[in-house]
Structure 1
Amino acid sequence: MSSPTSRQIKSQQTKKKILETALKLFSAKGFNDVTVDEIVEASKTSKGAFYVHFKSKYEIFIEKFREIDEFYANFISSMPGDLTASEKILLLAKSQMTYFRDDLGKDLMRTVYVSALIPNQPKSLSDTDRLLFKIIHSLVEEGQASGEFSADIPTNEITMLITRCMRGTLYDWLIFGEDFDLVEEAQKFIKTLLLENIAAQTKSL
């Protein structure tokens, strides 16, 4: 593979500058109150450069979700294969919440949640085509095939409940104080759901 040219490197640097500047402005002022002109001015770029990299300011979030999906892809490729489906889901949730807490932070996630309420915009948080949903879905299928999870409950329903637990825990982290332990609360929430599902499977035997 050939090395990137100086022009390509400069283009990526410009894209990164626009992305980081926009996220800071969204966090400080709110998504609705930030214009493309403000992003361009604050990032010391041009409107032409902005539209080369992003179709709209909402595309900033799409780009960030691509980075998050890359985290999921890297994580799942390194996950130990000798764990049960429940253990894999809990490990994924632990790594996910640690990543959100330590790498993304509250300000960014708060902005993401607020932007999800904007009408007529892609709903990345609840998009079932995203990698997270597909990973959880495959792990639930694995648990059902092994008899760990109830086969009487549709795979999509269990998957939706688990991903809802994740979104709900993140939301609580945003509205509660510093005493709210994001990683621990996510583990407790999802573990309770999984244990109840396993209990339902056991009773049906």
Structure 2
Amino acid sequence: MARSTPRQIKSQQTKKKILEVALDLFSKKGFNQVSVDEIVSVSNTSKGAFYVHFKSKYEIFIEKFKEIDDFYASFTKSIPKDLSCSEKILLLTKSQMVFLRDDLGKDLMRTVYVSALIPNQPKSLSDTDRTLYRIVHSFVQEGQDAGEFRKEIPSEEITMLITRCMRGTLYDWLIFGGDFDLVEEIQKFIRTILVENISTK
């Protein structure tokens, strides 16, 4: 494997600096209140450097979502294969909420939700081609093939219900006070969805 050149290393460092500064500014001031000019000023970079790495402010979020999806993909590999599909989904959603709560935090997630409402921007939260959606869908299909879930309900519909619960629980976490237990709430919602879709054979 070829080693990175000093120029490549510097370029990656610049990209990381822009990303970190932009996310910090978004969380403090709100997405719409931060300009590219401010990002490059605070990060002590240039507009040229910014546009080498990102086409727009919104691409900062796309980059962050890659990190989130990498977490989902890595965590899924650690789930024991002998668990039922219901248990796999519950374990995934529990770990998802712990990661979003502890590693990303409310400020960033609030900004992600607000930015998702901006017209003409990619809708990462609702993208059915995202890693998270595909993982949940694979568990649902596996459960249907094994007779664990009802087959008369399309796998896409069950998957959408589960991922909608994820988004809704995160939204409630953002608007309610500190007493809202993100992990406990997602488990309650997902269990309800799964019970409704368990096969009675």
What's the TM-score, normalizing by structure 1?
0.96
What's the offset of the Cα at 1:110? Answer: 0.1
State the distance in 2 between where 1:31 and 1:98 align.
24
Return the alpha-carbon distance in structure 1 between the equivalents of residues 112 and 65 of structure 2: 10
Does 2:47 correspond to 1:47? yes
- What is the rounded CA distance, in whole Å, between the counterparts of 1:184 and 1:6 in structure 2? 47
1:15 corresponds to: 15
Correspondence for 1:36 = 36
Are positions 1:150 and 2:150 aligned together?
Answer: yes
What are the within-5 Å matches in structure 2 for residues 151-170 of structure 1?
A: 151-170=151-170
SS in 2 for 1:178: coil
Paired residue type of 1:54:
F
Q: Percent identity?
A: 78
User: What SS does structure 2 have at the residue aligned with 1:122?
Assistant: coil
Which digits, 9 at most, give the CA deviation of each residue in 1:147-182, with x for residues without a partner? 111001001000000000000000011011111111
Q: After TM superposition, where is structure 1 displaced by more than 6 Å over at least 4 residues in a row?
A: none
Matching of residues 164-179 of structure 1 within 5 Å: 164-179=164-179
Cα distance in structure 2, aligned partners of 1:94 and 1:4: 38
Deviations for 1:164-203, whole angstroms, at most 9, x for unmatched residues?
A: 00000000110111111111111111011101211xx21x
Show the counterpart of 2:101.
Answer: 101
Q: What is the DSSP-based 3-state SS (H/G/I as helix, E as strand, rest coil) of the residue aligned with 1:153?
A: coil
Residue 73 of structure 1 deviates from its aligned partner by 1.0
Q: What displacement does 1:26 show? A: 1.0
Corresponding letter in the other structure for 2:5:
T
Q: List gaps (5 residues or longer) in structure 2.
A: none
The equivalent residue for 1:138 is 138
In structure 2, C-alpha distance between the alignment counterparts of 1:162 and 1:149, rounded to whole Å = 13
Q: TM-score, normalised by structure 2?
A: 0.98
Tell me how far apart the structure 1 counterparts of residues 197 and 55 of structure 2 sit (CA, whole Å).
43
> Does residue 1:79 correspond to 2:79, yes or no?
yes
Q: Distance in 1 between matches of 2:14 and 2:189?
A: 41
CA-based RMSD:
0.8
Q: CA deviation at 1:3?
A: 2.4
Tell me whether 117-126 or 9-18 shows the greater mean CA deviation: 9-18
- Per the alignment, residue 57 of structure 2 pairs with 57
Aligned length in residues = 201
Separation in 1 of the partners of 2:56 and 2:140?
Answer: 36
Q: Which amino acid aligns with 1:32?
A: N
- What is the CA-CA distance between 1:76 and the residue it aligns to? 1.2
Measure, in 1, the Cα distance between the counterparts of 2:72 and 2:9.
Answer: 26
Alignment-derived partner of residue 120 in structure 1: 120
Q: What secondary structure, in the 3-state scheme, does the structure 1 residue paired with 2:79 have? A: coil
